[in-house]
Amino acid sequence: MCENNFYKALFGIPDTNLAKLIKFSQERGSLYNEIYKRINADLDRKGLEKKKIRKQDKMYIASQTGF
């Protein structure tokens, strides 16, 4: 029994709740990969929108102050 736990600790993933949670998350993540792609695309779109606003603000400030 003790040897088995030692072997798992050194050479494999231990059978713990955290290991089970990670495995579960990875399995679900691969199943819902399309959702993650859409989330990333949405984040990119939002980031580009904010960047555009920052550029407009910078141009406005430069036109008002000459900097």
Q: pLDDT tens across 23-58, in order? A: 888 787 766 788 888 889 999 999 999 999 999 999
More confident call, 1 vs 60? 60
Per-residue model confidence (pLDDT) at position 6: 62
For the chain, which residues make up each domain, given as ranges? 39-67
Q: What is the dihedral of CA 13, 15, 10, 6, to 10 degrees?
A: -160
The pLDDT value given to residue 10: 62
Q: Using the CB atoms, write b or e for 28-55: b if 16+ within 10 Å.
A: eeeeeeeeeeeeeeeeeeeeeeeeeeee
The confidence score (pLDDT) of residue 1 equals: 46
**Helix/strand/coil percentages in the chain, nearest 5:** 85, 0, 15
Q: Are 15 and 8 in contact (CB under 8 A)?
A: yes
Residue 18 pLDDT: 83
